[in-house]
A and B are shown apart, each in its own frame.
Chain A
Amino acid sequence: MRTREKIMEYVFLLAAVISIVAVALICVFLFANGIPAMHKIGFADFLTGTDWKPGNDKYGIFPMILGSIYVTGGALVIGVPIGVLMSVFMARFCPAKLYKILKPVVNLLAGIPSIVYGFFGLIVLVPFIREHFDSNGQSILCAAILLGIMILPTIIGASEPTIRAVEQSYYEGALALGATHERSVFTVVVPAAKSGILAAIILGVGRALGETMAVMMVVGNQPRVPDSILQGVRTLTTNIVMEMGYATDLHREALIATGVVLFVFILIINLCFSAIKRSGKE
């Protein structure tokens, strides 16, 4: 009986260790397959080269890095104000009955698969931009709007509870000093929740940076340094999906190396997220 107890404890321990093993395996396999390619191409040439021409053995992913940053930045410009204001509304403004409707609405937004978002972007946003702007539709602007919508539930889901969790006495104190409800919320409650809101925004950055399928369908995928938000670009994620199907040799390794760069970006963002969450707890 005792031995069985002991054995099962180790079985559970083994299960717990799986996530460590998984992260280690992912790191090892990505880096082992990507770093040699970076070395062959040259780290500087790979990261800062502006030409991506696999046919001519030119592998510079600077346009893709820039593309990812532009698209993510655009998504934040759209998603952050709406997301944070919506969280404030849900936590401090809306009546309990309305909250019961809004919460599932946000959950629904979170549950829609990215391929469906992409399809929506393709049949609604792209034609809209083509008609109203001087653009062929598939552009940074389009991807930014779509991603802005997609990161909404991420931001709301993470920041709404932190705004709600702010001590009621802060709010009451502000009211007692004569501030209006709005002023109390925005000058006292929201600043008190700022580390949680920041963490939520970083979560949104991670989601936008890593999104692949939806972006691919609306961003145009031309590997170039754009000079207007109405032009198409290619992001790190779409670079991998676009070409992995037929790539061979160094081309293929360069795509894996692209994944490594994306992975490092994501790890940095994860670290920031954990650091902010931890500092918020203290």
Chain B
Amino acid sequence: MDKNMTPINKVSFQDKMRSYAKHPGSLILLILVILAAVITVVTLLFLVGYILISGVPYLKPSLFSIEYNSENVSMLPAIINTVEMVVIALVLSVPFGVGAAIYLVEYAKKGNKLVEVVRLTAETLTGIPSIIYGLFGMLFFNIALHWRYSMMSGAATLAIMVLPTIMRTTEEALLCVPDSFREGSFGLGAGKLRTIFKIVLPAAIPGILSGIILSIGRIVGETAALIYTAGTVTGVAGLMDSGRTLAIHMYVLSNEGLHKNEANATAVVLLLVVLLINGLSSLVAKRFEAVK
């Protein structure tokens, strides 16, 4: 990695300035490139800073009361629903995602046509925007399966949405497990299944975990796919009840425009939770790299 960063010809600062005087085009390019980096960083800092500064003063204990009413605009029921949504969606998608990855890496033979189709469809799923998932979820789970507006149909929709993420990260993690592990296990007389569950999967757990955490971040931040599947009813929801997650709660608040301060505070909580989850994911991924 480092060899890309450091120029191979060491030049002093003065030489560099002299060179730029001779090649003003290079100087302009350098300035443009640095400008792009500054814009990116400043944008992020401004965005996060602005949301925090305008929202933190409105974080009040009443925002976290057990019961929601239009007086306290509590976000606690929405938070509970979000956790519920994450758990159901993961229960639905992790077995399939991990199973699919195991098939692709451990069972499928080279040049298998099916594998190419699976890859292509997984790629397609990655590119589909969340509003299309929302439409599909509404048509399939809510109407065709008669689940109506419910946490269940929202979670099922999100499960399909995060499936390619889980599949891809698991696949990468499995590919990173050295073949000598498998050979050693076979050599000791273990069958394929035992090798997968006792040797390969445990070694790949951190990689799989980072993919799952990434998916959690997506589920927590999702809105468009949930509005017409899980609905926007306030209050803690059961499996087959309509309920709003924190992101939807935030959307409804800012859309109504009645509770601007509460919307600000909700934005802070949502932003921090998602950033924390994403940070955790890259931390786990980095651990995995280090172990590898």
Contacts and interface: CB of A to CB of B under 8 A. Distances in A.
Interface string A263-281: 1001101100110000000
A177 interface: no
Contacts of B95: 15
- The A interface, classified by DSSP as helix, strand, loop or mixed, is helix
Interface residues of B, number: 99
Interface in B201-244: 217, 220-224, 227-228
A11 interface: yes
Contacts of A244: 135, 138, 227-228
B274 A113 contact: yes
A274 B126 CA distance: 12
Contact of B118 (A16, A81, A120, A182): A16
Nearest to B34: A89
15 contacts: A14-B99, A15-B96, A16-B100, A18-B96, A18-B100, A19-B118, A22-B160, A85-B35, A86-B39, A92-B5, A93-B33, A120-B51, A259-B131, A262-B132, A270-B127
A45 interface: no
Interface string A108-138: 1111111111111011100000000000000
Interface residues of A, number: 95
Given A23-B121, A30-B139, A9 B107 contact: yes
B270 A152 contact: no
A89 B114 CA distance: 40
Interface string A222-242: 000000000000000100110
A84 to B, nearest CB: 8
Interface of A: 1, 4-5, 8-9, 11-20, 22-23, 25-26, 29-30, 33, 81-83, 85-86, 88-96, 99, 102, 104-120, 122-124, 149, 152, 156, 164, 168, 172, 175, 180-183, 185-186, 203, 206-207, 209-213, 217, 237, 240-241, 244-245, 256, 259, 262-263, 266-267, 269-270, 273-274
